[in-house]
Amino acid sequence: VLWAHLRKRDYAKTKGELATLELDVLNDKFYPEAYVISAMSSTMLCQFVNAKEALNRFIKVNVKWVDRISRNLKSENPELIISSFFTRNNQKSINTLESELETIASSVESLASYRPSLESRLSHAKMSFIKEKRNQWKLREKLLESALYKMKFVRIELLSRMRAVKEKEDQKISANTDAVSNLSAANVRTNQMAFPQDGIIWGDDLFNMTASVEDKCEILKKKRLK
């Protein structure tokens, strides 16, 4: 639904649908696509502060998921993410076989011959259960990789739009000598934010804009029409 709203450029509905997913109480939930859509919709509206916040939250929340996914993929017995038809059947088979083995252990020796067969079936059921749980974590790994790939393109678009707006604003400032004089100090500020690991620098002055639901890209639209 969120992607459908975004493709239709219905940003108001997109941000409305995202309101719940962006609550801090859901920070421990796995919704990587939500941050991508949030950053993209804010970028398309030139709401750079909101876009930056979505990017930062994407990193903050999903760094934890990267670690958790990695640990479970390496684990001999991964956590169960979602109880499904297959996992319930696996667990039921394991419980039944374990119960039968306990019965044999306390019964007469005539039933002992069934033990090897039951133990083999139990081992197979446990391996099947572990495989299903690991597949759930592999799926999350793929979903997170996909979201990260998309977010890289969102960042490129965000930087492009910020630079375009900054360039347009600089042109306005250059046309007014007094404005240039008053703002010259702001143009050489040293406050910057480095995006983790890749060294791309974000200037603080590019984010000094208020964010609202309406489209703030009019300045770019006018520029393209000229």
Mutual angle of helices 115-174 and 32-44, in 10-degree steps: 10
> In the block, which residue shows the tokens 């219905």?
10
pLDDT > 70: what percent of the chain?
62
Does pLDDT of 11 surpass 90? no
Give the residue-averaged pLDDT of 16-35.
Answer: 75
SS3 75: coil
Of residues 123, 132, 122, the one with CA closest to residue 96: 122
pTM of the model: 0.68
- Furthest-apart CA atoms within the chain: distance in Å: 102
Element (H, E) at 48: helix 48-74
Going from the C-alpha of 45 to that of each of 4, 7, 153, the distances in angstroms are 17, 13, 16
Q: How many angstroms separate the first and last alpha carbons of the chain?
A: 36
Q: Please report the pLDDT score of residue 73 as a whole number.
A: 95
- Between CA 190 and CA 199, with CA 194 as vertex, the angle to 5 degrees is 115
Alpha carbon distance 191, 207 (integer Å): 12
Q: Is 193 helix (H, G, I), strand (E, B) or coil?
A: strand
**pLDDT at residue 203 tops 70:** no
Q: What is the pLDDT of residue 35?
A: 87
- In this predicted model, what pLDDT tens digit does every residue of 146-195 receive, in sequence order? 999 999 999 998 888 888 877 776 676 666 544 444 434 444 333 333 33
Q: Which residues, including other chains, have CB under 8 Å from residue 191's CB and lie 6 or more apart?
A: 203, 204
